[in-house]
């Protein structure tokens, strides 16, 4: 008997075929296959997003079947074939076709889901060379993507076997407006892109955080030394007293309030109180529940109401009433205007915490280099990270180097610090590299969220359909620490009017502290929540007036010569009317189709059409936010672009290069990109506020023009001359004259280039006065979404059938990438409308927290309106956040159109929709 047991006891060596080659690895057979592939075999193309089979990022082929490698024990791979993205091309001819199709369709944005998508799609095409759209969706439905909205992926798979239309790279001067494939795309489809968790030094230690299990809790440590001694491989424990500088950070320095480690009490569930550092194997085996800490749970403010109540415990002593910031924009006399209005619509609206749910959890490592610290991690804001880490470590900012990895989705949350303080502190003290990778629950529990909002608003119009006023009050649950709460409180009042002329206006907001996870930046900074209220009320006004809902919006659309609610007259680049008018034929078609469907249907399905508008200021609100771009001409005739605008999937690596290329007159293929490493690339600010194409793009344009001028000077040529870049030389042509300048022997400047163009751009704005009057932004983007839905009135389920999205982007630098932003933004808007809400302490995973899957996104028709901004590069404006804002209110308006039920609390989950339908039915009698 014992012999037999021994024969079946799997030994430590596991042998299998990996990408067609035999491999043997010494590992625990119970380890997840993902761990063995990534950590032991260095195949980091297989990504880990959840460790629970919920996201599919780790999809590999096991004996040719797609499975989640995180759910396969390494021992189960023994003797079998495993194919990862790295070996896909040798495994199947379909892989190369898919990769090419993904690149040409823009189906990879951040790229974190791309390996899983490619593996799943290859398995499909190997079995079924001509799949239908629904077969494609079934095949990729198990891989979540947070960037693309899936439609470009579906299209790429459907088109993979067609002969790819190889577009020629654009000639010099023709890059802006061209649909070039992303310049960093090859790495993303080959699995070689390095994300936060994909690289670490060989002798790296691992750090894990000890976190509060309660919303609010006092705590006392037990015998930490004994804990370290009892756990071989554990090197050290860090707590607040180990922070050499200030135990405090925050994205807006005057409000910085978040400690690396809580000191007396934890203010939210998930807040760190200590960190344990040790050898990787010991740390993986460590049960943090045995860490010597005793918790004393304390009464917590878990709602805005509780936090505002008399006598509620204060989160921060100096913030009376738990109010972090108040926002205010007032214009005209709203009370008088609404009293005189012919029709009024009013309501209360509520939204919940929304999780960014990027597929890449936060990750990175730090190492000490002499008296400097280097951090390689995923981030949206390298220079802000640098300054905050310097403050925590008590170092000069220059002593901190931030090396951003590729970012597997950000959407606002990776603006704030996550792993950085822990790895930096540990590496600093221990003088050894230290690595940290958040688990999915840790990422959901501790990183910033979209602010829950509680909004009360009244809007009024004349009987002719002119808006006369909007009175808006919004409270935003900002959680335990400030993060971007001030930005949300200040941005919302500027935008709550929507893109319309509203002569009398009052918008008051508060950011309110609670004992919950900090709310911060999430694509739109509170404006999506405000739009849910405002766009539904405007629909109601139109209905009350008996006006067509689209025509009501066209009638009230902000004109270039009309003042905004902050008194700004934009003069040019106000494309809202053009966007609304572009939707007219689609609106008519959709309304007719829905009416015909409803007239013919006698069952439980009802169709409806909804529309909603949007405007959004690009860049910081009335605050400086400069970007600096440097472009250098090298002796080999190539160009170095110091491109510090972190590409989180939106495409800044590509777009900024396209802009710089045309400003300089060089082909895109001449450029070598340098990333936002703070030691080598000037500050391009944060990737946030839809500012990179606009602000950094403008800097790139100016830098490109500067370098061109420098070259012309060198050649003694005038502005009209043509510059031709060659290997080792530039040739300057003016008329019949051509002067070839060999670069090899020219001296190098301080930056190490033959010639350098460097420029800084900071958008012109002015401070807002006490009534919020002034020029908060130099440029606004505008847009309108129309959504067609089908509602199952018996079950309350809502299926989006089609989204038609018109956006004024000023100038589409790369239309494919613009569409990618629109489709991805719309997908997040759909999630906000229909399924996404995070309840702190419950469902800290991706099977309880739902984001749209491939089967939930309808086709998106993008209509690009180009009403050029007088300020932006080549007229361009931002689109990243703009794309999300109108989707949710358009869906809610469509649900009302279909059923007569108004949903004022999102997400419109099936139970809420069904309840609203029943209530509307009983109200009608």
Partner 1 sequence: MYLRPVTLDEAVDVLATHGGRILAGGTDFFPALGDRQPAGPIIDISRLDELKAISVGPEAVRIGARATWSAVAAAPLPRAFDALKVAAREVGSLQIQNAGTVAGNLCNASPAADGVPPLLALDAEVELSARGGTRRLPLAAFITGYRQTAIRPDEIVTAVVVPRTIEGASAFLKLGARRYLVISIAMAAAVVEADAAGRVAEARVAVGACSAVAQRLAALEAALVGAPARPGLGDRVTTDHLAALSPIDDLRATAAYRRDAALTLIRRALEACVAEN
Kindly indicate which of the ranges 534-542, 582-590, 820-828, 837-845 contains the residues binding partner 1, using the contact rule CB under 8 A: 837-845
Does 859 help bind partner 1 (rule: CB under 8 A)? no
In the complex, what is the shortest distance from the CB of residue 447 to partner 1, in angstroms, rounded to a whole number? 16
Burial status of residue 765 (CB atoms within 10 A of its CB: 0-12, 13-18, 19 or more): buried
How big is the site for partner 1, counted in residues (CB under 8 A)?
A: 65
CA within 13 Å, CB half, 385: 36
Distances (CA, A) of 74 to 11, 14, 21, 199, 580: 12, 7, 16, 21, 56
d(CA 137, CA 855): 6
Does 915 help bind partner 1 (rule: CB under 8 A)? yes
Using the minimum distance from each CB to partner 1, give the nearer residue, 167 or 285: 285
Site for partner 1 in 261-290 (CB under 8 A): 284-285, 287
Using the minimum distance from each CB to partner 1, give the nearer residue, 164 or 859: 859
In the complex, what is the shortest distance from the CB of residue 831 to partner 1, in angstroms, rounded to a whole number? 9
Using the minimum distance from each CB to partner 1, give the nearer residue, 9 or 203: 9
Residue with tokens 């006399």: 333
Q: Which of 855, 861, 900, 902 binds partner 1 (CB under 8 A)?
A: 855
Structure-token pair, residue 326? 């108040």
Q: Which of 88, 95, 98, 144 binds partner 1 (CB under 8 A)?
A: 144
Structure-token pair, residue 16? 């299998």
Using the minimum distance from each CB to partner 1, give the nearer residue, 760 or 797: 797
Does 177 help bind partner 1 (rule: CB under 8 A)? no
Angle between helices 382-393 and 420-430 (to 10 degrees): 50
Residue with tokens 């009052």: 506
Q: How many Cβ atoms sit within 10 Å of the Cβ of residue 656?
A: 33
Kindly indicate which of the ranges 39-47, 63-71, 94-102, 501-509 contains the residues binding partner 1, using the contact rule CB under 8 A: 63-71
Starting at the edge strand that comes first in sequence, how are the strands of the sheet with 21-26 ordered? Answer: 21-26, 13-18, 81-83, 59-62, 65-68
Does 8 help bind partner 1 (rule: CB under 8 A)? yes
Distances (CA, A) of 211 to 251, 275, 442, 684, 781: 22, 9, 9, 34, 41
Q: Which of 834, 860, 871, 884 binds partner 1 (CB under 8 A)?
A: 834
Using the minimum distance from each CB to partner 1, give the nearer residue, 68 or 234: 68
Using the minimum distance from each CB to partner 1, give the nearer residue, 790 or 881: 790
Using the minimum distance from each CB to partner 1, give the nearer residue, 69 or 172: 69
Closest Cα to residue 99, out of 193, 203, 208, 194? 193
Does 852 help bind partner 1 (rule: CB under 8 A)? yes
Q: Which helix (H) or strand (E) holds 490?
A: helix 485-495
Q: Which of 398, 572, 726, 911 binds partner 1 (CB under 8 A)?
A: 911
Using the minimum distance from each CB to partner 1, give the nearer residue, 59 or 654: 59
323-331 and 453-461 as β-strands: parallel, antiparallel, unpaired? unpaired
Q: Which helix (H) or strand (E) holds 217?
A: strand 217-221
Q: Which of 24, 26, 30, 167 binds partner 1 (CB under 8 A)?
A: 30
Q: Which of 51, 374, 539, 808 binds partner 1 (CB under 8 A)?
A: 51
Using the minimum distance from each CB to partner 1, give the nearer residue, 402 or 917: 917
Site for partner 1 in 289-348 (CB under 8 A): none
Kindly indicate which of the ranges 163-171, 694-702, 729-737, 911-919 contains the residues binding partner 1, using the contact rule CB under 8 A: 911-919
Closest Cα to residue 347, out of 921, 905, 882? 905
* Beta pairing partners, 17: 22, 81
Using the minimum distance from each CB to partner 1, give the nearer residue, 263 or 911: 911
Does 24 help bind partner 1 (rule: CB under 8 A)? no
d(CA 839, CA 817): 33
Does 441 help bind partner 1 (rule: CB under 8 A)? yes
In the complex, what is the shortest distance from the CB of residue 142 to partner 1, in angstroms, rounded to a whole number? 2
Does 848 help bind partner 1 (rule: CB under 8 A)? yes
Does 910 help bind partner 1 (rule: CB under 8 A)? yes
Structure-token pair, residue 775? 């020029």
Which residues are CB-contacts of 884 (< 8 A; sequence separation ≥ 6)? 523, 524, 528, 825, 826, 828, 829, 832
Phi, psi torsion values for 5, nearest 5 degrees: -65, -45
Does 843 help bind partner 1 (rule: CB under 8 A)? yes
In the complex, what is the shortest distance from the CB of residue 191 to partner 1, in angstroms, rounded to a whole number? 18
Site for partner 1 in 380-419 (CB under 8 A): none
Q: Which of 795, 870, 919, 921 binds partner 1 (CB under 8 A)?
A: 795
Does 606 help bind partner 1 (rule: CB under 8 A)? no
The one-character DSSP state at 438 is -
Using the minimum distance from each CB to partner 1, give the nearer residue, 66 or 685: 66
In the complex, what is the shortest distance from the CB of residue 52 to partner 1, in angstroms, rounded to a whole number? 4
Does 842 help bind partner 1 (rule: CB under 8 A)? yes
Q: DSSP string spanning 284-327?
A: HH--GGGSSEEEEE-----SHHHHHSTTPPPSSTTSGGGEEEEE
Site for partner 1 in 64-123 (CB under 8 A): 65-68, 70-73, 75-76, 78, 120
Using the minimum distance from each CB to partner 1, give the nearer residue, 426 or 851: 851
In the complex, what is the shortest distance from the CB of residue 8 to partner 1, in angstroms, rounded to a whole number? 5
In the complex, what is the shortest distance from the CB of residue 40 to partner 1, in angstroms, rounded to a whole number? 15
Q: Which of 269, 491, 686, 914 binds partner 1 (CB under 8 A)?
A: 914
363-369 and 434-437 as β-strands: parallel, antiparallel, unpaired? antiparallel
Does 139 help bind partner 1 (rule: CB under 8 A)? yes
Q: How many Cβ atoms sit within 10 Å of the Cβ of residue 225?
A: 10
Using the minimum distance from each CB to partner 1, give the nearer residue, 471 or 844: 844
Gyration radius of the chain's alpha carbons: 28
Alpha helices in 526-645, H assignment, sequence order: 527-545, 549-556, 576-582, 584-600
**Residues 199/406, Cβ–Cβ less than 8 Å:** no
- First vs last C-alpha separation in the chain: 76
605-617 and 504-513 as β-strands: parallel, antiparallel, unpaired? unpaired
In the complex, what is the shortest distance from the CB of residue 842 to partner 1, in angstroms, rounded to a whole number? 6
d(CA 478, CA 451): 6
Kindly indicate which of the ranges 230-238, 402-410, 639-647, 831-839 contains the residues binding partner 1, using the contact rule CB under 8 A: 831-839
Using the minimum distance from each CB to partner 1, give the nearer residue, 679 or 848: 848
d(CA 888, CA 908): 10
Does 48 help bind partner 1 (rule: CB under 8 A)? no
d(CA 681, CA 674): 7
Residue ranges in contact with partner 1 by CB under 8 A = 1-2, 4-5, 8-10, 28-30, 32, 51-54, 56, 59, 62, 65-68, 70-73, 75-76, 78, 120, 137-139, 141-144, 284-285, 287, 439, 441, 604, 794-797, 834-835, 839, 842-843, 847-848, 850, 852-856, 909-911, 914-915
């Amino acid at each position: 008997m014992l012999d037999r047991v021994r024969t079946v006891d799997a030994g430590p060596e596991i042998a299998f075929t990996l990408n067609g080659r035999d491999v043997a690895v010494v590992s625990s057979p119970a380890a997840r296959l993902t761990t063995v592939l990534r950590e032991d075999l260095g195949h980091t193309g297989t990504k880990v997003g959840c460790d629970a089979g919920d996201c599919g990022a780790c999809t590999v082929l096991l004996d040719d079947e797609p499975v989640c490698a995180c759910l396969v024990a390494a021992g189960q791979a023994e003797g079998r074939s495993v194919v990862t993205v790295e070996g896909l091309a040798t495994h199947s001819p379909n892989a190369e076709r898919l990769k090419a199709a993904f690149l040409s369709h823009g189906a990879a944005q951040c790229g974190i889901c791309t390996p899983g998508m490619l593996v799943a799609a290859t398995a499909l095409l190997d079995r079924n060379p001509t799949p239908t759209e629904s077969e494609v969706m079934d095949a990729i439905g198990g891989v979540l993507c947070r960037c693309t909205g899936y439609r470009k992926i579906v299209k790429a798979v459907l088109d993979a076997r067609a002969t790819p239309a190889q577009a020629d790279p654009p000639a010099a001067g023709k890059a802006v407006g061209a649909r070039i494939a992303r310049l960093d795309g090859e790495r993303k489809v080959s699995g070689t892109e390095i994300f936060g968790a994909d690289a670490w030094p060989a002798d790296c230690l691992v750090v894990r955080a000890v976190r509060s299990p309660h919303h609010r809790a006092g705590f006392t440590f037990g015998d930490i030394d004994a804990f370290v001694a009892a756990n071989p491989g554990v090197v050290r424990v860090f707590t607040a007293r180990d922070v050499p500088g200030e135990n405090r950070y925050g994205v807006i320095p005057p409000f910085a309030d978040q400690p690396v480690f809580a000191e007396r009490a934890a203010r939210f569930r998930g807040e760190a109180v200590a960190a344990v550092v040790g050898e990787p194997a010991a740390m993986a085996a460590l049960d943090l529940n045995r860490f010597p800490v005793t918790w004393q749970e304390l009464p917590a403010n878990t709602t805005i109401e509780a936090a505002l109540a008399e006598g509620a415990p204060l989160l921060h002593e100096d913030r009376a009433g738990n109010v972090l910031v108040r926002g205010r924009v007032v214009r005209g006399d709203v009370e008088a205007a609404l009293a005189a209005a012919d029709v009024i619509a009013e309501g209360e609206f509520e939204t919940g915490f929304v999780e960014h749910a990027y597929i890449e959890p936060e990750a990175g490592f730090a190492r000490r280099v002499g008296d400097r610290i280097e951090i390689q991690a995923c981030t949206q804001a390298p220079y802000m990270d640098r300054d905050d880490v310097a403050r925590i470590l008590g170092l000069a900012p220059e002593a901190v180097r931030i090396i951003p990895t590729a970012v597997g989705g950000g959407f606002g949350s990776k603006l704030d610090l996550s792993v950085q303080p822990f790895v930096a502190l540990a590496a600093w003290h221990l003088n050894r590299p230290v690595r940290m990778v958040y688990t999915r629950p840790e990422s959901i529990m501790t990183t910033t969220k979209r602010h829950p909002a509680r909004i009360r608003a009244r809007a009024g119009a004349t009987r002719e359909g002119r808006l006369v006023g909007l009175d808006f009050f919004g409270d935003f649950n900002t959680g335990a620490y400030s993060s971007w709460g001030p930005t949300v409180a200040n941005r919302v009042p500027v935008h709550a009017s929507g893109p319309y002329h509203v002569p009398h206006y009052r918008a008051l907001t508060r950011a309110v502290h609670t004992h919950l996870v900090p709310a911060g930046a999430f694509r739109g900074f509170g404006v999506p929540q405000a739009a849910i209220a405002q766009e539904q009320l405007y629909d109601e006004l139109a209905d009350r007036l008996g006006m067509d809902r689209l025509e009501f919006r066209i009638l009230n659309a902000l004109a270039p010569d009309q003042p905004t609610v902050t008194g700004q007259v934009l003069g040019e680049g106000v494309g809202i009317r053009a966007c609304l008018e572009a939707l007219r034929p689609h609106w008519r078609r959709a309304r007719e189709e829905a009416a015909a469907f409803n007239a013919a249907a006698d069952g439980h399905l009802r169709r409806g059409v909804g529309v909603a508008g949007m405007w959004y200021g690009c860049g910081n609100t009335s605050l400086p936010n400069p970007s600096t771009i440097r472009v250098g001409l090298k002796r080999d005739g190539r160009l170095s672009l110091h491109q510090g605008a972190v590409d989180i999937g939106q495409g800044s690596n590509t777009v900024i290069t396209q802009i710089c290329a045309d400003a300089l007159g060089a082909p895109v293929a001449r450029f070598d990109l340098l990333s936002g490493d703070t030691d080598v690339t000037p500050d391009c600010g944060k990737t946030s506020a839809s500012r990179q194409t606009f602000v950094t793009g403008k800097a790139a344009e100016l830098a490109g023009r500067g370098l061109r001028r420098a070259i012309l000077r060198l050649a003694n040529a005038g502005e009209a001359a043509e510059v031709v870049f060659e290997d080792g030389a530039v040739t300057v042509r003016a008329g019949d004259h051509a002067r070839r300048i060999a670069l090899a022997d020219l001296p190098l400047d301080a930056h190490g280039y033959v010639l350098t163009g460097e420029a800084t751009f900071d958008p012109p704005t002015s401070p807002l006065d006490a009534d919020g009057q002034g020029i908060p932004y130099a440029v606004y983007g505008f847009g309108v979404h129309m959504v067609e839905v089908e509602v199952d009135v018996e079950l309350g389920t809502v299926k989006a059938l089609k989204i038609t999205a018109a956006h004024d982007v000023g100038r589409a630098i790369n239309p494919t990438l613009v569409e990618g932003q629109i489709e991805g933004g719309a997908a997040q808007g759909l999630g906000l409308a229909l399924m996404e809400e995070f309840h702190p302490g419950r469902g800290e995973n991706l099977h309880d927290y739902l984001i749209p899957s491939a089967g939930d996104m309808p086709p998106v028709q993008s209509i690009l309106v180009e009403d050029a901004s007088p300020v932006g590069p080549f007229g361009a404006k931002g689109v990243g956040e703009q794309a999300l804002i109108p989707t949710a209110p358009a869906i809610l308006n469509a649900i009302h159109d279909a059923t007569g039920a108004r949903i004022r609390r999102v997400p419109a989950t099936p139970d809420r929709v069904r309840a609203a339908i029943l209530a509307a039915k009983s109200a009608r009698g």
